[in-house]
Amino acid sequence: MAGSKSQKSLDDSNKKRKRDTGEFDLKTKRHRKDEKNSTSKAKAQGELPENNGQLQSAATSNRGSESKILAKNNLSLIQQTEDGEAGWRVSKPMGGRMLDIDPILTADEQYIILTYNTSIQVYSASTSLLIRRISISTLESQSENPTSPPTITATRLSLLDPDFVWVGCSDGRVFFVNWTQASRPKQKFQTKSATAKALAPVLIGPPKKAREAVLIVESDKQNRLDINAYLGSEESKHILNLKKNGFGLQLLESCENGKILVGAINDRLFIGTMSSGQIETLAQLSYDFFSFDTPDLITCLDTKLTSHNSGSQSRVNILVGGARGAIYLYHDALSRLQAISRSKSEKDTIQAQKYHWHRKAVHSVKWSHDGNYMISGGSENVLVLWQMDTSKKDFLPHLSGSVENIVVSQSGSSYVVHLDDNSAMILSTAEMKPTAYVSGLQSASAHVSIPKDLLVQRVWSAPEQVKRPIPAAIRPTEPSKLHVCVGNGRQAAMSGEFSAPLLQSFDLESFTSANRQPLARTQPTDVNITNKGNPIDEPLITHISFSADGRWLASVDEWKPAERDVDNVSNDQRNQFIRERHEVYLKFWEVGASDDSAALVSRINAPMPQANRSQFLTWPQTQSHLASLQLEVMGWSGYGALRYDSKTALLPSQPTARMPTHGVARR
């Protein structure tokens, strides 16, 4: 009724006014009361000076200095509310997703530098532990979208000082970072186009007085590529402009301290050689370029210089990985292109030797140190070693994710392999066994750039965002570990229906992966694709929950046929066909006390009358004995709660008509 107040408004009028942020007092009510009493006593005894305002200003000054000290040490002051309870504090972001950029292994093979979205992280190759994290781009960066900082697009080790790395960002800023120190890097220069796709350092001047310039691939359109050379923020020079219609990647590699350049745009490969042998200034830097089209979109490349005689010109052998799975080898590419250019004949073309094993895009291909092998990897979760003389192949199968990047150490004794499940490892070339392993949080995440497998049209697609909730839980006895459902790599999890059949135990204190085990059936490498090229969907973990004592884990996984598999079924029978083949399992796991491994104790098929109605899991808050341990599966549509015994997998009592309570964990 008009003019009348509701009960809520009357209650609100009696409430105290909410203080602003600057009004909070850091002392509790009891402390403030004691202070008030002591102040009144001091006034009564004449002990309190008249210039009380000076003391208050001094206290305010001290509080301000404390805040400055906390801010300097990257800490925040936890303010308290009126009732004396401490407020919430959000920590700075940690971890992140490793990018599709070649890791950097130092010459002594003691450290590995990995590139993340907005930082580079240095790990020890002997202990696999994080040494330091250097933040590159933050939210305070000047970018068009203030809610999303620019991402790193390229990292290269400095040619003059191995303690520094060049880091390029998507907004065109380039940093010269000392990876041996944790100090925040300063910006070196900004590119003219405010873009940076790839970079390669080059030396200018005599050997004893050489200076280091950086070649930057700049591109604001998919069909255009510009290469500019920068010598600090003062000097720059345009090197190359190339256009090629299509949709692909822009790549750049260098050899002999920048004397030879090899790059690609879409399906065009270009090779450049320095015009003169000695360059004194940046203005003298110029290249003679040759370009030609390849049979496929270029996803990766690598170069190898060989010379049969000491005085002869080095041969440039180039490996090119294609988006459709083929690898092309161009022997002595530079000399052949120079000969074709001199002949001026349109019929003369450069020929390539073709190798084909990968069924999708070649994610990375590299020469071995001696040039007798090439190493390649893709979405098959297999590392392939090709013997160049005999074309014989050796395999390192059953990796935990798709191979994204491969790096060969300077001595040739180790390989660095980056996988798309947010992990990287160092392999010994003699035994092909890992000597170091780094793993981050492997939950599904959005793609920063388009996957290489999707550069060409496929029968399947990967969504840009994660559209399903990711189940996670914390074991009560180990609050420092996060247990989250993950898939067999980001591509496998995001392809087709969302897939997350594994449970990863992640230590939040050391920020390392402690364990990973399957809770449902998995198909990481064996027959995981149909004859039409569609991925075979794995079961999805929808719920996980730990008991109060942390000794039991309950999980629910489900699987149903994909929509494409029921296209030939009539419309009136399609729903029944899917319902009959819809699998839902409730599983009880006994978790070990010393480690995170879980043993399956019992499984319940279709735990609810309508499997897709299962929405909640909850354990009883008190357990007198493990034998009576039960779990409740909450449902909708009047089914109430079903109580299952964890050891017998039977219903010990009739379903109760109780709705979910406040303690129920939602999916």
In a domain, 201, yes or no: no
Q: Please check the confidence at residue 114 and state whether its pLDDT lies above 80.
A: yes
In a domain, 431, yes or no: no
How far is residue 360 CA from its own chain's centroid? 21
What's the token pair of residue 14?
């009696």
Say if residues 657 and 634 touch (Cβ distance below 8 Å). no
Summary count for the chain: helices (H), strands (E): 6, 40
Least confident piece of the model among 176-185, 223-232, 484-493: 484-493
In a domain, 48, yes or no: no
Least confident piece of the model among 112-121, 200-209, 262-271, 563-572: 563-572
Average the pLDDT over 196-213 and give the result: 90
**Residues 6 or more apart from 38 whose CB is under 8 A from it?**
none
Q: How confident is the model at residue 628 (pLDDT cuts 50, 70, 90)?
A: very low
Average the pLDDT over 235-253 and give the result: 89
> What local confidence, expressed as pLDDT, does residue 469 receive?
82
In a domain, 207, yes or no: no
Average the pLDDT over 263-271 and give the result: 94
Give tens-digit pLDDT for 131-140. Answer: 999 988 765 4
Say if residues 433 and 427 touch (Cβ distance below 8 Å). yes
Note whether 484 and 552 are same-domain residues. yes
> What local confidence, expressed as pLDDT, does residue 89 receive?
75
Residue with tokens 């003389």: 389
Say if residues 497 and 389 touch (Cβ distance below 8 Å). no
Note whether 531 and 581 are same-domain residues. yes
- Measure the CA–CA gap between 316 and 309, rounded to whole angstroms: 14
- Measure the CA–CA gap between 607 and 585, rounded to whole angstroms: 7
Note whether 70 and 162 are same-domain residues. no
Give 78: exposed, middle or buried? Use CB within 10 Å, 0-12, 13-18, 19+.
Answer: exposed
In a domain, 486, yes or no: yes
Whole-number average pLDDT of the chain: 77
> What local confidence, expressed as pLDDT, does residue 418 receive?
96
Phi–psi pair at 343, nearest 5 degrees: -75, -25
What's the token pair of residue 318?
């180039």
CB atoms within 10 A of CB 430: 8
DSSP structural state of residue 422: T
**Residues 6 or more apart from 289 whose CB is under 8 A from it?**
240, 261, 270, 271, 272
Note whether 119 and 30 are same-domain residues. no
- Measure the CA–CA gap between 553 and 277, rounded to whole angstroms: 68
Say if residues 175 and 218 touch (Cβ distance below 8 Å). no
> What local confidence, expressed as pLDDT, does residue 635 receive?
43
- Measure the CA–CA gap between 493 and 420, rounded to whole angstroms: 10
> Regarding predicted confidence, which is higher, 225 or 607?
225
Residue 363's closest CA among 490, 461, 453, 247? 453
- Measure the CA–CA gap between 335 and 330, rounded to whole angstroms: 11
Residue 539's closest CA among 446, 641, 601, 471? 471
Note whether 68 and 161 are same-domain residues. no
- CA–CA distances in Å: residue 146 to residues 96, 489, 561: 19, 30, 42
Number of domains in the chain: 3
> What local confidence, expressed as pLDDT, does residue 312 receive?
66
Note whether 592 and 531 are same-domain residues. yes
In a domain, 529, yes or no: yes
Give 618: exposed, middle or buried? Use CB within 10 Å, 0-12, 13-18, 19+.
Answer: middle
> What local confidence, expressed as pLDDT, does residue 21 receive?
41
> What local confidence, expressed as pLDDT, does residue 310 receive?
60
> What local confidence, expressed as pLDDT, does residue 654 receive?
42
Note whether 78 and 155 are same-domain residues. no
DSSP string, 457-490: --SS---SS--S---EEE-TT-TTEEEEEE-SSH
> What local confidence, expressed as pLDDT, does residue 108 receive?
93
In a domain, 357, yes or no: no
Strands, sheet with 552-559, edge to edge from the N-terminal-most edge strand: 540-546, 552-559, 583-591, 598-605
Q: How confident is the model at residue 428 (pLDDT cuts 50, 70, 90)?
A: very high
- Measure the CA–CA gap between 360 and 160, rounded to whole angstroms: 38
Give tens-digit pLDDT for 368-405. Answer: 999 999 999 998 889 999 999 888 999 999 898 899 99
- Measure the CA–CA gap between 616 and 607, rounded to whole angstroms: 12
Note whether 76 and 98 are same-domain residues. no
In a domain, 340, yes or no: no
Give tens-digit pLDDT for 298-338. Answer: 999 999 998 766 656 788 999 999 999 999 999 999 989 98
Note whether 654 and 589 are same-domain residues. yes
pTM beyond 0.85, yes or no:
no
> What local confidence, expressed as pLDDT, does residue 177 receive?
94
Note whether 73 and 120 are same-domain residues. no
Say if residues 114 and 98 touch (Cβ distance below 8 Å). yes
Note whether 505 and 638 are same-domain residues. yes
Note whether 567 and 585 are same-domain residues. yes
Average the pLDDT over 96-113 and give the result: 93
Residue 156 structural domain: 93-141+149-167
Q: Please check the confidence at residue 39 and state whether its pLDDT lies above 60.
A: no
Give tens-digit pLDDT for 288-299. Answer: 999 999 999 999
Beta-bridged to residue 366, according to DSSP, are 375
> Regarding predicted confidence, which is higher, 151 or 91?
151
> What local confidence, expressed as pLDDT, does residue 466 receive?
66
Give tens-digit pLDDT for 54-86. Answer: 434 444 444 444 444 444 444 444 444 455 555
Say if residues 600 and 626 touch (Cβ distance below 8 Å). no
> What local confidence, expressed as pLDDT, does residue 19 receive?
44
Q: How confident is the model at residue 634 (pLDDT cuts 50, 70, 90)?
A: very low
Secondary structure, 3-state, 327-372: EEEECCHHHHHHHHHHHCCCCCCCCCEEEECCCCCEEEEEECCCCC
